[in-house]
Amino acid sequence: MTIEVRMTLRLPEDLRDRLSTHAKSERRSLNSELVYMLEVGLRAAGMDAESPGDDSATPAPLRGKPDSSPA
């Protein structure tokens, strides 16, 4: 079952361009490519559709500094 959820996603322009180019090479829409990548990422993290996430898990560290971090 698919539930439609509309949301705004802010991406750096270069990342959006890379995702869009990759989606085209895979013959998918950008939306479909993002859904696919999220599913693959969740599966790799051990969070497949049959096993709900565990709130007690330690989150993975962020890569790089968030934009709001002090310099």
CA-wise closest residue to 15 among 43, 37, 48: 37
The C-alpha R_g of the chain, in whole angstroms, comes to 15
3-state secondary structure of 13: helix
pLDDT digits (tens, 9 = 90+) for 35-65: 999 999 999 998 876 555 554 455 555 555 5
pLDDT of the residue at 48:
75
pLDDT digits (tens, 9 = 90+) for 1-20: 778 889 899 999 999 999 99
What would the two tokens of residue 17 be? 């361009």
